[in-house]
């Protein structure tokens, strides 16, 4: 199927990034959130990102204007009936996502694909709450969405072939490279990445090295473009902790247990870039 109308639920950093890349390739996007304030904040971030791309000459001013013209903001879930695809991009909370998916299921057409942008939660479990589980698929975008070229496509046990094929076609349409993954905690990338970042936090917790030296070590020693602690700050320490907990619970394996320092920083509200302070200061 050709996807021309997409609804994105959640105007946060992931949701507005997804809306941006879809609108730039000619897809009409409805961006939905619970308040006008959240929508305005997300749209401002999206507009700023497009302006940055214009300054870098990655897109033209006309491209920017056309993309903005394809995006509609609303708090009304009633518009979902017009969508070919709905992408849920809410916080990484299983019960919250289930509630949103049930609402999507009630309001969308029978051919609509329902996607969840989760980094670690079970697609099979999420699909089980809707009446058309074969239409549910995981689309794990990476942050920042406009810059990252990867899209993990995750099939639940119930996902039908047509849904999977349409998801791969969407990946091509928006210029992403798709990696197919089975439904296991963390899928591919986060199952490898999260333990690495967590181990860096254990190293810091044990005072083996400073945050700066840990990150420089991994950047220069392993040729990583960003250090693991700075990456955790970019992801958001609360989001990263939720992903680790999902791995820990999903595999029941102590190698995924979150470092105590990570849990303490989240409890203190030190969440990384979005709060101004994490392993590094951004104030």
Domain residue extents for the chain: 5-181, 190-275
DSSP 238: H
CATH topology of domain 190-275: 1.10.1040
pTM, whole model, 2 decimals? 0.89
Give the pLDDT of residue 143: 85
Q: How far is CA 185 from CA 128, 163, 194, 245, in A?
A: 17, 21, 11, 10
Query: What residues of the chain score a pLDDT lower than 50?
Result: none
Q: How far apart (Å, rounded) are the C-alpha atoms in residues 75 and 217?
A: 46
Chain segment 132-166, per-residue pLDDT in tens: 999 999 999 998 899 999 999 999 999 999 999 99
pLDDT at position 77: 94
Query: Do residues 138 and 164 touch, judged by C-beta distance below 8 A?
Result: no
Q: Which CATH number fits domain 5-181: 3.90.45.10, 3.40.50.720, 3.30.420.40, 3.30.70.141?
A: 3.40.50.720
The token pair at 109 is 């057409």
Can you give the pLDDT at residue 1?
A: 59
CA–CA separation, 262 vs 41, rounded Å?
A: 28
The pLDDT of residue 126 is 97
Same fold flag, 5-181 and 190-275: no
pLDDT digits (tens, 9 = 90+) for 246-276: 899 989 999 999 999 999 999 999 999 999 9
Active site residues: 119, 140, 152, 190
CA distances from 134 to 105, 149, 158, 169, 274 (A): 12, 27, 5, 17, 36
Q: Using an 8 Å Cβ cutoff, are 183 and 34 in contact?
A: no
């Amino acid at each position: 199927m050709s996807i021309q109308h997409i609804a994105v639920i959640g105007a946060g950093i992931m949701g507005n990034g997804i809306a941006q890349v879809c609108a730039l390739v000619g897809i009409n996007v409805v961006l939905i959130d619970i308040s006008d304030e959240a929508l305005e904040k997300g749209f401002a971030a999206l507009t700023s990102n497009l302006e940055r791309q214009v300054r870098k000459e990655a897109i033209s001013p006309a491209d920017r204007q056309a993309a903005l013209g394809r995006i509609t903001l609303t708090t009304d879930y009633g518009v979902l009936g017009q969508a070919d695809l709905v992408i849920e991009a809410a916080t990484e909370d299983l019960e919250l996502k289930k509630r949103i998916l049930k609402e999507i299921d009630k309001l969308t057409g029978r051919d609509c694909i329902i996607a969840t942008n989760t980094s670690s939660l079970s697609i099979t479990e999420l699909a089980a709450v809707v009446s058309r589980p074969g239409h549910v698929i995981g689309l794990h975008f990476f942050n920042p969405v406009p810059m990252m070229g990867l899209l993990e496509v995750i099939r639940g046990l119930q996902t039908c072939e047509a849904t999977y094929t349409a998801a791969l076609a969407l990946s091509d349409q928006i210029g992403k490279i798709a990696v197919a993954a089975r439904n296991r905690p963390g899928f591919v990338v986060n199952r490898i990445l999260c333990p690495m970042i967590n181990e860096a936090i254990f190293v810091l917790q044990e005072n083996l090295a400073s945050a700066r030296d840990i990150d420089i070590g991994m950047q220069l020693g392993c040729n990583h473009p960003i250090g693991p602690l700075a990456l955790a700050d970019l992801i958001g320490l609360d989001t990263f902790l939720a992903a680790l907990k999902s791995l820990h619970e999903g595999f029941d394996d102590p190698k995924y247990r979150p470092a105590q320092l990570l849990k303490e920083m989240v409890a203190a509200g030190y969440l990384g870039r979005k709060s101004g302070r994490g392993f590094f200061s951004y104030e």
